[in-house]
Amino acid sequence: MSKSITANELKTKGVSAIDLIVRESEEVVVKVRGKEKYVVMPIEKYNYYRECELEKAINEAKMDFEQGRYVSESVEEHIKRITDA
């Protein structure tokens, strides 16, 4: 479960406030005017999420290729197709 901090607390206490919360919950939700707006997390966790996102994209591309959902065309044909759409 993630914990939260207000933008005002962040402004007055700085990064040390984030450090305290991250030790307990690994991520901090920053609320601005009462609404959740940002998530702060350790860089290692962020990098892990990025790797998962890239792995998913690679798997989707492989599935598209295996199922024939791709277009084989020249650069000129590609430019024409995407600009005429």
User: What distance in Å separates the CA atoms of residue 62 and residue 54, rounded to the nearest whole number?
Assistant: 12
Tell me which residue of 23, 14, 46 sits closest to 5, measured CA to CA: 14
Q: Are residues 37 and 54 located together in one domain of the fold?
A: no
Q: Are residues 50 and 62 located together in one domain of the fold?
A: yes
Please give the structure tokens belonging to residue 61.
Answer: 């591309």
Residue 23 has pLDDT above 70, yes or no: yes
How much helix, strand and coil, in percent to the nearest 5, is found in the chain? 60, 20, 20
Q: Are residues 27 and 55 located together in one domain of the fold?
A: no
Q: What is the pLDDT of residues 50-77, one digit of tens each?
A: 999 999 999 999 999 999 999 999 999 9
Q: Are residues 71 and 57 located together in one domain of the fold?
A: yes
The CA R_g of the chain, rounded to the nearest whole Å, is 21
Map tokens 């707006």 to a residue: 37
Q: Count of domains in the chain?
A: 2
In whole numbers, what is the pLDDT of the chain averaged over residues? 93
Q: How much is the pTM?
A: 0.69
What's the domain range around 74? 44-84
Q: Are residues 34 and 58 located together in one domain of the fold?
A: no
Q: Are 15 and 28 in contact (CB under 8 A)?
A: no
Q: Are residues 30 and 48 located together in one domain of the fold?
A: no
What 3-state DSSP class applies to 5?
strand
Q: Are residues 63 and 50 located together in one domain of the fold?
A: yes
Instruction: Kindly give the pairing relationship between strand 28-32 and strand 35-40.
Output: antiparallel
Give the pLDDT mean for 2-18: 90
> Band of the pLDDT at 80, cuts 50, 70, 90?
very high
Q: Are residues 29 and 61 located together in one domain of the fold?
A: no
Q: Are residues 55 and 73 located together in one domain of the fold?
A: yes
Q: Are residues 57 and 77 located together in one domain of the fold?
A: yes
